[in-house]
Amino acid sequence: MAWNGWYTATVIVFVALFALLCGLATQLDLTRGNGSPDHLGFYAMLVLGILLLVLMVFLGFGIASRWDGILIDSRNRVTLTNFQLVVWTLVVLTAFGAVFLTNLLAGKNPIDAFDFTVPNELWLAMGISGTSYVGAKAIRNTQGQKATTKTNAGSAGMLRRGQLAVRDKPSDASWGDMFAADAFSDGMHVDISKVQMFFFTVVLAVGYLAAVVNLLINATAPVTSLPVLNQAFVIVLVLSHGGYLGRKATDSLGSS
- Give tens-digit pLDDT for 138-147: 666 665 555 4
Residue 68's CB is within 10 A of a number of other CB atoms, namely 18
Segment (H or E) for 161: strand 159-161
Segments making up each domain of the chain, as ranges:
5-255
Given a contact cutoff of 8 angstroms between Cβ atoms, the answer to whether 125 and 229 are in contact is yes
CA atoms within 13 A on the CB side of 174: 15
Residues contacting 220, CB < 8 A, separation 6+: 30, 31, 35, 36, 37, 106
Least confident of 132-141, 159-168, 198-207, 211-220: 132-141
Cα–Cα distance measured from residue 96 to residue 228, given in angstroms and rounded to the nearest whole number:
13
What's the average model confidence in pLDDT over 210-238? 85
Query: Measured at the alpha carbon of residue 49, what is the angle toward residues 236 and 52, in degrees to the nearest 5?
Result: 100
Is residue 233 within 8 A of residue 123, CB to CB? The reply is no
pLDDT band at 28 (very low <50, low <70, confident <90, very high): confident
Give me the pLDDT at residue 192, please: 85
Q: Which of 47-56, 184-193, 224-233 has the lowest mean pLDDT?
A: 184-193
Q: Which of 78-87, 141-150, 174-183 has the lowest mean pLDDT?
A: 141-150
What pTM value is reported for the model? 0.80
Q: Of 128 and 248, which is predicted with more confidence?
A: 128
